[in-house]
Structure 1
Amino acid sequence: MVRHVTITGTRSLSVETELSRIFDSYLRPFADPHAHFYVGGAAGIDTAALDWLADFTQASLSVVVPCMVADQPAVAAASIRRWQEDGRLVEVVELGADRLSAVAYHARNRWMVDRSGFVIGFPRGTDPSSGTWYTINYAAEQGKPRLIAPV
């Protein structure tokens, strides 16, 4: 049975954040070959988690973007293209929003959560208006389990 997991997290990371250690602790336990991860295509946690999962696990990976990959930050678009070319991505979903906005990001995050049975969130701080907390709270409203690992 495939476990579908959404990853959500901050776009703002400090240089000293030890993401490899954090991902090893909080993603690896769920990243067996039967896992399928949905990752957003933004900079920050999205790109870092995509790179880590592709490098260190055999889990299936999907990237979901609110508009098109070309609309994502350069570092994120480059990572998506890299893993597409390497054959590590099962799919890239471009939701085709007219423009990047909070509404488009929230729609993308709902799309991922709606297809998952579990959400792992990496918020920075406790601001309830952040996209990460929006996604975690949306998963809670859906009755889905969440793992929260602050960064």
Structure 2
Amino acid sequence: MRSVAITGTRATGHRPPDEYGAIFSAYLRPFADGHFYIGGAKGIDSLALLWLAGNSAAHLTVVVPGTVLHQPTEAQQAIARTRERIQDVVELGAAELDTPAYHARNRWMVDHASMTIGFPHADEPEGGTWQTLNYTAEQGKPRLIVPV
């Protein structure tokens, strides 16, 4: 079974929600028979989780750096709405939700996946999404980059 880590910007308000549906249809649907590792954050993480839960039979694993209760409200709501479709929730138990904790979460997802699909904000040339995509490349794994 193919496994895919999803990474992306938290800033998604610059596009209407239906555009994300079209983007996910084009770039996630070809892998929708596999296993997705999705960070439990707001933005692309929550949007991809909702889309995959409603449009695929994929195995879904949500990975958070601390606990689900420490995630933003938007992310908690997306997880609750799709709970019946989520096979696994991995809570890494970080004491502080800081940059190192999020990078550790991203590395965990990449380490467990066979590839990464990243949705960076077109105006953000660096950040967590790019750190994850670069880590994927360092591991010799394929990455698909879809600027949003």
Note the residue ranges of structure 2 that are not aligned, 5 or more in a row: none
Rounded to whole Å, the distance in 1 between the matches of 2:139 and 2:123 is 20
Note the residue ranges of structure 1 that are not aligned, 5 or more in a row: none
Instruction: For 1:117, give the aligned amino acid.
Output: S
Q: CA RMSD in A?
A: 1.1
| 1:101 CA displacement | 0.8
Whether 1:106 and 2:103 are equivalent positions in the alignment is yes
Rounded to whole Å, the distance in 2 between the matches of 1:70 and 1:23 is 27
Q: Secondary structure at the match of 2:106?
A: helix
Runs of 4+ in 1 over 2 A off after TM superposition: 14-17, 125-129
Rounded to whole Å, the distance in 2 between the matches of 1:7 and 1:76 is 14
Q: What are the residue-to-residue correspondences of 1:60-99 with 2, within 5 Å?
A: 60-84=59-83, 87-99=84-96
| 1:127 CA displacement | 4.2
Rounded to whole Å, the distance in 2 between the matches of 1:44 and 1:10 is 6
Instruction: For 1:107, give the aligned amino acid.
Output: A
TM-score where L is the length of structure 1: 0.93
Instruction: For 1:70, give the aligned amino acid.
Output: L
Q: What are the residue-to-residue correspondences of 1:4-15 with 2, within 5 Å?
A: 4-15=3-14
Q: Secondary structure at the match of 1:97?
A: coil
Aligned residues: 146
Rounded to whole Å, the distance in 1 between the matches of 2:29 and 2:97 is 31
CA contact (8 A) 1:41 1:47 kept: yes
| 1:83 CA displacement | 1.6
Rounded to whole Å, the distance in 1 between the matches of 2:62 and 2:35 is 11
| TM-superposition CA deviations, 1:30-88 (whole Å, max 9, x none) | 112xx00000000000000000000000000000000010110101011112222xx21
Rounded to whole Å, the distance in 1 between the matches of 2:65 and 2:123 is 24
CA contact (8 A) 1:123 1:133 kept: yes
